[in-house]
Amino acid sequence: MRHNSLSLLCHRPASSEITPERVYLDRRRWIAAATASLAFRGAARAAEAPPLAKLAATRNARYSVTDTASAYEDITSYNNFYEFGTGKGDPQRNAGTLRTQPWSVTIGGEAETRGTYTLEDILKPHALEERVYRLRCVERWSMVIPWIGFPLGDLLRRFKPTSNAKFVAFRTLHDPKQMPGQRAGWLEWPYVEGLRIDEAMHPLAILVVGLYGRVLPNQNGAPLRLMVPWKYGFKSIKSIVGISFTRSMPPTSWNIATPGEYGFYANVNPAVAHPRWSQASERRIGASLFDATRPTEPFNGYAEQVAGLYRGMDLRRFF
């Protein structure tokens, strides 16, 4: 039953130390060397996985927070990606079956230009930026992630949305052969999400292709995902193959599954509790015990930039 499967969303995060990527990579090299010299190859297998390709991007300080970034290890091993299982470690373990090349994205609906494009064509005109954003999950954990991407609005404008385009709908790949979790019924597939057009055009909403200076790992939504930092993590849909401009509010996966618990807007709001738990605080993954629990901020700390989008709306009703 879907409602029960959502309880799985509430695992207690494992605590671990903050590990900057440089230290992490050095440690990986050290482990690889030590284990090879001991001819202890089995244990070294994970440490020897080839690193993902580097991705050049300039840091956009204006749109970056100054919080300490979470460890690469945590960002890539503590994930929600139900297409690969409901456990936090499942995506890292299972997402190797996802083929991210070739990849195409279909853009349709209320726009003058429509069609199916290769990922290369989608990315070509856009300069990549690094932006350090907070990610707050509805399960009350948070991380700080140096994403690499570009503004979603810049892409959307290329397709010249008509005046009928009031919303933007997003769709993840649907292929149970590559995404074994889609053989289970814990969500309706494909995973779908949506934004109001003005939210989608906001400069903080980005499409992501990498993190920590490298190509996006499969478990984080390769090769192309959304990142909307003022909303709960579930809005930031992964492995996107479809973008469509719509007249009316599009369906969204968690709202289909449990409408009483997950609304369309899903703005981070410490004043509006989830029906089964408070949203007033969160646990920063990887932070020290003393620093791990912190109050959740309205709009995940981005209120100054985005609160105006919701002026006059009752955010208790439109959760």
Pick the closer one to ligand MTE by CB: 110 or 141: 141
Binding mask 284-303 for ligand MTE (x = CB under 6 A): --------------------
Please say whether the dihedral angle defined by the alpha carbons of residues 57, 153, 78 and 119, taken in this order, is positive or negative.
Answer: negative
Q: Per CB under 6 A, does 223 bind ligand MTE?
A: no
Q: Per CB under 6 A, does 81 bind ligand MTE?
A: yes
Q: Per CB under 6 A, does 178 bind ligand MTE?
A: no
Q: Per CB under 6 A, does 172 bind ligand MTE?
A: yes
CB of 137 to ligand MTE, least distance (A): 4
Output 180-184 pairs: Cβ under 8 A, ≥24 positions apart.
180/83, 180/84, 180/85, 180/94, 180/97, 181/81, 181/82, 181/83, 181/84, 181/85, 181/86, 181/90, 181/94, 182/83
Q: Which amino acid is at 307?
A: A
Among 18-26, 76-84, 295-303, 308-316, the segment contacting ligand MTE (CB under 6 A): 76-84
Q: Per CB under 6 A, does 236 bind ligand MTE?
A: yes
CB 123 within 8 A of CB 103: no
Pick the closer one to ligand MTE by CB: 153 or 233: 233
Pick the closer one to ligand MTE by CB: 135 or 169: 135
**Single residue of 191, 230, 262, 265 touching ligand MTE by CB under 6 A:** 191
> How far, in Å, CA of 318 to CA of 302, rounded?
18
Structure tokens at 291: 């620093």
Q: Per CB under 6 A, does 234 bind ligand MTE?
A: yes
> CB-side exposure of 230: number of CA atoms within 13 Å?
23
**Single residue of 153, 161, 223, 233 touching ligand MTE by CB under 6 A:** 233
**Single residue of 6, 69, 169, 237 touching ligand MTE by CB under 6 A:** 237
**Single residue of 6, 69, 73, 82 touching ligand MTE by CB under 6 A:** 82
Binding mask 93-132 for ligand MTE (x = CB under 6 A): ----------------------------------------
- State CA 312 to chain mean position distance: 28
Pick the closer one to ligand MTE by CB: 122 or 179: 179
Neighbouring residues of 213: CB distance < 8 A, sequence distance ≥ 6: 21, 54, 55, 57, 130, 146, 148
CB burial of residue 142 (10 Å; 0-12, 13-18, 19+): buried
CB 269 within 8 A of CB 279: yes
Pick the closer one to ligand MTE by CB: 144 or 161: 144
Q: Per CB under 6 A, does 220 bind ligand MTE?
A: yes
Q: Which amino acid is at 254?
A: W
Strands 214-215, 293-295: parallel, antiparallel or unpaired by DSSP? unpaired
CB 181 within 8 A of CB 190: no
Among 44-52, 153-161, 230-238, 302-310, the segment contacting ligand MTE (CB under 6 A): 230-238
- Name the site residues for ligand MTE (rule: CB under 6 A): 79-83, 135, 137, 172, 191, 220-221, 233-234, 236-239
